Structure 1
Amino acid sequence: MLKPEVESLVPGQTFDRRRFVKTALGSAFAAAALPVAAETIKTDFKGLTAGEVTIPSGGFNMPAYCAQPEGKKNLPVVLVISEIFGVHEHIADVCRRFAKLGFLAIAPELFARQGDPGSFGTIQELQANIISKVPDAQVMGDLDAAVAWAGANGGDLNRLGITGFCWGGRITWLYTAHSKRVKAAVAWYGQLVGAPTALKPRNPVDIVNDLHAPVLGLYGGKDAGITQEHVGTMKAALAASANPNAKASTFVVYPEAGHAFHADYRPSYVESAAKDGWQKCLAWFKEHKVGGSAGTDY
């Protein structure tokens, strides 16, 4: 069963968990994400078991936030992949929104080996000190560990979905090509193209032939970073692939929205696009047999 407590470090581990968890995971906002907007949504804990858990992954104790209906088993599982800010209060709230609909939702802190993403005051510092040092291979292994943990703690791995935001949107595409267990994926404004590097050898446009499930991409028409040219390149790659999961993947572009339009705690929030995208996300999971209830207000 879920125990929202901090477990001890594995022998010889150098990462200082006590310093990392200044507050419980998901209970505060990252410094670089402040100030918090007035529209911030708060989902209660009623009927849920929710809190921080620790997942063993490659000799490392990885923190994660998990929310699920209290006392329930054989639940559909959804991986919730954070933005660059890590698993802060907004990501925890998204997990509780899924849990209210019958999912076991788990958000692993995928930056934990590199440090505390909540402690940097600017996006530039965060990118330089944490995000630029995280290898894709590490992330894929940590997500595999999170999936295994979910399966051992009430989740039905035959009904596995994944969704992610910004940095997590890119990871959503990549993990869907990595894991044969994924049944459906929803990527929110994640990077699609880019030059390969040692830590990021492939991007979504490079893995369309390997997708193990169809992906729904939710993107903003006014996004200056993930442009409509990038979306067009990705659409063309999906259409040209012989992979049926690539051909079944699709995009929804919100003309009035920019980047991070789902982030209700930030000025970038666009309520109409966020709520419509949420409904489409739930419907996508239901269509592809992941589970949960399609259709609810925040």
Structure 2
Amino acid sequence: MPVHSEWRTFAGTDGDVRAYFASVEPVAEPRPTVIVIQEMWGVDAHIRDVVERFAAAGYVAIAPDLFAENGVRPEDLGEEKVKEAKDFLHSIPHQAWFNPDIREEEISKQPHDRQLTLRATLTKLLGVLDPSKSEGFVNLLKATADYARNTYSHTKGMPVSSVGFCLGGALSAALAVNDPRHAGSVVFYGRPPKENIDNIQCPILGFYGGNDPNITNLIPAFEEEMKKFGKSFEAIVYPNAPHAFFNDTNPTYNARYARDSFAKALTFLHQVTAE
């Protein structure tokens, strides 16, 4: 049976939420939900493909658009503009991404019209990573979980879990902190939470790259905190893997580790959402 996918908008606590939904049709009885949480690139073609992979595995998968404001995505964060900005960033040294002076030097080498577009999009895009945005994103994810558990006919009354990547990985763990009914969180190379660890009521599974010290260096402290509070956390670190090894549209993609982590994630989700 085919996977049906569509964009839907529903009412959240802070305004409308725009999200990409996928499920194998027809849905005769409600199914567990997997909330798929985007990287900094948005709910792009890659994330939509990941949503459809989890749907094909028997879940209803939902990817809320973190870029959308009251259900509408700002023009500067349109998918084509974000893709152009992504391609540009991957063409320059990674250390330049977050160094405004070096980044501007690289932008200035582009044609004039492209410079204007890149500056506008990169300002918005990199602003998404500002920690001050986290609370709003978590509220949007909680609204998505509430909609799945309480309203949407395909998922009503069933467990809700999450899988997130990079920015979304951090938010997947944050959802575990902030939603006491959350069934389980899968984290792909996302920063772990530092506060309110004792609030976590569900298992967390994390996948990390051995060549990603900005993230992996944070894991032992989080592991210790989880252990202190009697929480369930498993960290899998793939040797020599870079950041974003799961993203098959990135030069960082590693098929072996992506394959292994996807299989392990499916096993984990089956365990935490078993009826």
Q: What residue is the counterpart of 2:103 in the other structure?
A: none
Letter in 2 for 1:68: S
Identity %: 27
User: d(CA) in 2 for partners of 1:157 and 1:189?
Assistant: 30
User: d(CA) in 2 for partners of 1:54 and 1:86?
Assistant: 16
| Structure 1 vs Structure 2 CA RMSD | 2.1
User: d(CA) in 1 for partners of 2:131 and 2:206?
Assistant: 26
What runs of 5+ residues in structure 1 fail to find an aligned partner?
Answer: 1-45, 193-203, 292-298
Q: Which has the higher helix share?
A: 2
CA contact (8 A) 1:224 1:258 kept: no
1:259 pairs with one of 226, 234, 243: 243
CA contact (8 A) 1:147 1:157 kept: no
User: d(CA) in 2 for partners of 1:75 and 1:146?
Assistant: 15
Pairing of 1:236-255 with structure 2 (within 5 A): 236-241=224-229, 244=230, 246=231, 248-255=232-239
Alignment of 1:219 with 2:208, yes or no, is yes
CA-CA distance at 1:185 after TM superposition: 1.2
Q: Note the alpha carbon deviations across 1:208-251, whole angstroms, 9 max, x for none.
A: 2111201001111111431x32112221222222xx3x2x2111
- Give the total of aligned pairs: 230
Q: What residue is the counterpart of 1:161 in the other structure?
A: 161
User: d(CA) in 2 for partners of 1:231 and 1:127?
Assistant: 26
What runs of 5+ residues in structure 2 fail to find an aligned partner?
Answer: 90-96, 98-121
Alignment of 1:70 with 2:25, yes or no, is yes
Q: What residue is the counterpart of 2:58 in the other structure?
A: 102
2:268 pairs with one of 255, 274, 284: 284
* Cα separation, partners in 2 of 1:94 and 1:224, compared to 1, 3 Å: same
Secondary structure of 1:61 counterpart: strand
Letter in 2 for 1:231: I
User: d(CA) in 2 for partners of 1:158 and 1:108?
Assistant: 18
CA-CA distance at 1:288 after TM superposition: 2.0
User: d(CA) in 1 for partners of 2:170 and 2:214?
Assistant: 13
CA contact (8 A) 1:158 1:181 kept: no
User: d(CA) in 1 for partners of 2:263 and 2:253?
Assistant: 16
Alignment of 1:138 with 2:144, yes or no, is no
Secondary structure of 1:111 counterpart: coil
User: d(CA) in 2 for partners of 1:185 and 1:240?
Assistant: 19
TM-score, length-scaled by structure 1: 0.71
